[in-house]
Amino acid sequence: MSTNDSALYPRHTALDDAYGLFTGIALAATGIAILGKSGLITGGIAGMALLGSFISPYPTSTLVPAINVPFLLFALFTMGRAFTLKSVLVSFALGAGVKLITPALNVSGVDPSVGWVIGGTLLGMGILCLARHNASMGGTGSVVLWVQKRFGINAGISQLACDCILFLIASFYLPVDKMVWSLVGTVAMNLVLIIWHKPGRYRG
Protein backbone atom coordinates (compact mmCIF):
# COMPACT_ATOMS: atom_id res chain seq x y z
CA MET A 1 0.00 0.00 0.00
CA SER A 2 1.46 3.36 -1.02
CA THR A 3 1.74 6.43 1.24
CA ASN A 4 -1.26 8.00 -0.46
CA ASP A 5 -3.29 4.82 -0.06
CA SER A 6 -2.33 4.65 3.63
CA ALA A 7 -3.67 8.15 4.15
CA LEU A 8 -6.91 7.46 2.28
CA TYR A 9 -7.43 3.95 3.62
CA PRO A 10 -5.88 3.66 7.11
CA ARG A 11 -5.43 0.09 8.28
CA HIS A 12 -7.82 -1.38 10.80
CA THR A 13 -6.94 -0.96 14.44
CA ALA A 14 -7.07 -3.93 16.82
CA LEU A 15 -10.43 -2.61 18.06
CA ASP A 16 -11.72 -2.38 14.46
CA ASP A 17 -10.72 -6.00 13.88
CA ALA A 18 -12.21 -7.22 17.15
CA TYR A 19 -15.57 -5.60 16.48
CA GLY A 20 -15.49 -6.63 12.82
CA LEU A 21 -14.87 -10.27 13.77
CA PHE A 22 -17.59 -10.15 16.43
CA THR A 23 -20.06 -8.75 13.87
CA GLY A 24 -19.11 -11.35 11.28
CA ILE A 25 -19.49 -14.20 13.77
CA ALA A 26 -22.85 -12.89 15.00
CA LEU A 27 -24.25 -12.56 11.47
CA ALA A 28 -22.90 -15.94 10.34
CA ALA A 29 -24.08 -17.78 13.46
CA THR A 30 -27.58 -16.30 13.10
CA GLY A 31 -27.68 -17.27 9.43
CA ILE A 32 -26.60 -20.85 10.22
CA ALA A 33 -29.16 -21.10 13.04
CA ILE A 34 -31.96 -19.95 10.73
CA LEU A 35 -30.92 -22.39 8.02
CA GLY A 36 -30.79 -25.18 10.58
CA LYS A 37 -34.27 -24.32 11.85
CA SER A 38 -35.43 -24.43 8.21
CA GLY A 39 -33.94 -27.90 7.69
CA LEU A 40 -31.66 -26.47 5.00
CA ILE A 41 -27.95 -26.60 4.29
CA THR A 42 -25.65 -24.17 2.55
CA GLY A 43 -22.16 -24.14 1.11
CA GLY A 44 -18.71 -24.19 2.70
CA ILE A 45 -17.94 -25.23 6.25
CA ALA A 46 -21.42 -24.18 7.40
CA GLY A 47 -23.03 -26.52 4.87
CA MET A 48 -20.75 -29.39 5.80
CA ALA A 49 -21.59 -28.94 9.48
CA LEU A 50 -25.34 -28.57 8.85
CA LEU A 51 -25.44 -31.69 6.66
CA GLY A 52 -23.37 -33.56 9.25
CA SER A 53 -25.83 -32.56 11.99
CA PHE A 54 -28.74 -33.96 9.97
CA ILE A 55 -27.10 -37.36 9.35
CA SER A 56 -25.15 -37.83 12.60
CA PRO A 57 -25.81 -37.39 16.33
CA TYR A 58 -23.42 -34.42 16.53
CA PRO A 59 -24.71 -30.80 16.61
CA THR A 60 -23.59 -28.12 14.16
CA SER A 61 -21.79 -26.25 16.94
CA THR A 62 -19.47 -29.25 17.49
CA LEU A 63 -18.95 -30.11 13.84
CA VAL A 64 -17.81 -26.62 12.71
CA PRO A 65 -14.46 -26.67 14.59
CA ALA A 66 -13.98 -30.44 14.07
CA ILE A 67 -14.33 -30.31 10.27
CA ASN A 68 -12.20 -27.18 10.13
CA VAL A 69 -8.91 -28.76 11.23
CA PRO A 70 -7.48 -29.74 7.78
CA PHE A 71 -8.66 -26.50 6.18
CA LEU A 72 -7.02 -24.43 8.90
CA LEU A 73 -3.75 -26.28 8.31
CA PHE A 74 -4.06 -25.33 4.62
CA ALA A 75 -4.66 -21.70 5.62
CA LEU A 76 -1.55 -21.69 7.82
CA PHE A 77 0.70 -22.49 4.85
CA THR A 78 -1.08 -20.34 2.25
CA MET A 79 -2.67 -17.35 4.01
CA GLY A 80 -0.25 -16.82 6.88
CA ARG A 81 -0.30 -17.06 10.66
CA ALA A 82 -2.40 -13.95 11.32
CA PHE A 83 -5.20 -15.11 9.01
CA THR A 84 -5.08 -18.64 10.44
CA LEU A 85 -5.09 -17.50 14.07
CA LYS A 86 -8.11 -15.30 13.44
CA SER A 87 -9.84 -18.15 11.60
CA VAL A 88 -9.17 -20.59 14.47
CA LEU A 89 -10.73 -18.12 16.90
CA VAL A 90 -13.65 -17.56 14.53
CA SER A 91 -14.20 -21.31 14.15
CA PHE A 92 -14.60 -21.90 17.89
CA ALA A 93 -16.51 -18.66 18.46
CA LEU A 94 -18.86 -19.56 15.61
CA GLY A 95 -19.57 -22.96 17.14
CA ALA A 96 -20.38 -21.27 20.45
CA GLY A 97 -22.48 -18.64 18.69
CA VAL A 98 -24.61 -21.22 16.88
CA LYS A 99 -25.09 -23.10 20.16
CA LEU A 100 -26.32 -19.93 21.88
CA ILE A 101 -28.41 -18.43 19.08
CA THR A 102 -30.25 -21.57 17.92
CA PRO A 103 -32.30 -22.01 21.14
CA ALA A 104 -32.57 -18.22 21.53
CA LEU A 105 -34.62 -18.07 18.30
CA ASN A 106 -37.31 -19.81 20.37
CA VAL A 107 -39.15 -21.29 17.38
CA SER A 108 -39.76 -24.92 16.49
CA GLY A 109 -38.97 -24.30 12.84
CA VAL A 110 -38.65 -21.74 10.06
CA ASP A 111 -40.46 -22.11 6.73
CA PRO A 112 -37.80 -22.91 4.11
CA SER A 113 -39.41 -20.45 1.67
CA VAL A 114 -38.38 -17.68 4.09
CA GLY A 115 -35.36 -19.26 5.75
CA TRP A 116 -33.32 -19.54 2.54
CA VAL A 117 -33.14 -15.81 1.84
CA ILE A 118 -32.71 -14.60 5.44
CA GLY A 119 -30.30 -17.35 6.49
CA GLY A 120 -28.30 -17.30 3.26
CA THR A 121 -27.96 -13.52 3.15
CA LEU A 122 -27.01 -13.16 6.83
CA LEU A 123 -24.42 -15.92 6.44
CA GLY A 124 -23.01 -14.24 3.33
CA MET A 125 -22.76 -10.88 5.12
CA GLY A 126 -21.00 -12.56 8.03
CA ILE A 127 -18.46 -14.20 5.70
CA LEU A 128 -17.90 -10.87 3.93
CA CYS A 129 -17.33 -9.09 7.25
CA LEU A 130 -14.79 -11.72 8.31
CA ALA A 131 -12.97 -11.49 4.97
CA ARG A 132 -12.73 -7.69 5.34
CA HIS A 133 -10.86 -8.27 8.59
CA ASN A 134 -8.47 -10.91 7.21
CA ALA A 135 -10.26 -13.97 8.56
CA SER A 136 -12.67 -16.66 7.46
CA MET A 137 -14.92 -19.34 8.93
CA GLY A 138 -12.34 -21.81 7.66
CA GLY A 139 -13.39 -24.72 5.49
CA THR A 140 -13.48 -24.04 1.78
CA GLY A 141 -13.71 -20.33 2.64
CA SER A 142 -9.97 -20.34 3.31
CA VAL A 143 -9.36 -22.08 -0.02
CA VAL A 144 -11.47 -19.73 -2.15
CA LEU A 145 -10.03 -16.60 -0.52
CA TRP A 146 -6.55 -17.92 -1.32
CA VAL A 147 -7.62 -18.66 -4.91
CA GLN A 148 -8.87 -15.08 -5.29
CA LYS A 149 -5.66 -13.69 -3.80
CA ARG A 150 -3.39 -15.95 -5.87
CA PHE A 151 -5.24 -16.22 -9.19
CA GLY A 152 -7.74 -13.34 -9.15
CA ILE A 153 -10.77 -15.66 -9.43
CA ASN A 154 -13.73 -14.21 -7.50
CA ALA A 155 -14.21 -15.97 -4.15
CA GLY A 156 -17.99 -16.22 -4.61
CA ILE A 157 -17.63 -17.98 -7.96
CA SER A 158 -15.01 -20.41 -6.60
CA GLN A 159 -17.22 -21.12 -3.59
CA LEU A 160 -20.14 -21.99 -5.84
CA ALA A 161 -17.96 -24.53 -7.65
CA CYS A 162 -16.97 -26.14 -4.32
CA ASP A 163 -20.58 -26.14 -3.19
CA CYS A 164 -21.63 -28.19 -6.22
CA ILE A 165 -19.71 -31.14 -4.76
CA LEU A 166 -21.29 -30.70 -1.34
CA PHE A 167 -24.79 -30.57 -2.81
CA LEU A 168 -24.15 -33.69 -4.87
CA ILE A 169 -23.47 -35.53 -1.61
CA ALA A 170 -26.44 -33.86 0.13
CA SER A 171 -28.80 -35.03 -2.63
CA PHE A 172 -28.57 -38.55 -1.17
CA TYR A 173 -29.90 -37.35 2.20
CA LEU A 174 -32.23 -34.37 1.69
CA PRO A 175 -35.67 -34.35 0.03
CA VAL A 176 -35.99 -32.51 -3.27
CA ASP A 177 -37.82 -29.47 -1.86
CA LYS A 178 -35.18 -28.93 0.84
CA MET A 179 -32.46 -29.31 -1.79
CA VAL A 180 -34.03 -26.61 -3.98
CA TRP A 181 -34.41 -24.15 -1.09
CA SER A 182 -30.87 -24.93 0.06
CA LEU A 183 -29.52 -24.25 -3.42
CA VAL A 184 -31.17 -20.85 -3.77
CA GLY A 185 -30.07 -19.97 -0.23
CA THR A 186 -26.49 -20.81 -1.17
CA VAL A 187 -26.77 -18.60 -4.23
CA ALA A 188 -27.99 -15.78 -1.96
CA MET A 189 -24.99 -16.32 0.30
CA ASN A 190 -22.48 -16.30 -2.56
CA LEU A 191 -24.07 -13.32 -4.29
CA VAL A 192 -22.98 -11.23 -1.32
CA LEU A 193 -19.35 -12.15 -2.06
CA ILE A 194 -19.70 -11.90 -5.84
CA ILE A 195 -21.17 -8.40 -5.65
CA TRP A 196 -19.22 -6.88 -2.77
CA HIS A 197 -15.95 -8.80 -2.34
CA LYS A 198 -13.99 -7.43 -5.30
CA PRO A 199 -10.31 -6.43 -5.50
CA GLY A 200 -9.83 -2.69 -4.99
CA ARG A 201 -13.37 -2.07 -3.76
CA TYR A 202 -12.33 -2.01 -0.12
CA ARG A 203 -9.02 -1.24 1.58
CA GLY A 204 -7.91 -0.90 5.14
pTM of the model: 0.82
DSSP characters over 112-143: HHHHHHHHHHHHHHHHHHHHHTT---STHHHH
| Digit-coded pLDDT (tens) for 57-71 | 999 888 988 888 888
Question: What would the pLDDT profile of 155-189 be if each residue is shown by its tens digit?
Answer: 778 877 888 889 999 999 999 999 999 999 988 98
Q: What's the rounded Cα separation, in Å, for the pair 99 and 109?
A: 16
Cα separation, 83 vs 136, in Å, equals 8
CB distance 102 to 33 below 8 Å = yes
pLDDT at 97: 93
Q: How far apart are CA 185 and CA 172, in angstroms?
A: 19
Return the closest-CA partner of residue 46 out of 137, 131, 178: 137
Q: Is the pLDDT of residue 30 over 90?
A: yes
Q: What is the sign of the dihedral through the CA atoms of 150, 155, 157 and 159?
A: positive
Segment among 15-24, 59-68, 189-198 with least mean pLDDT? 189-198
Cα–Cα–Cα angle for 12, 45, 83, nearest 5°? Answer: 30
pLDDT at 100 over 90: yes
pLDDT of residue 40: 94
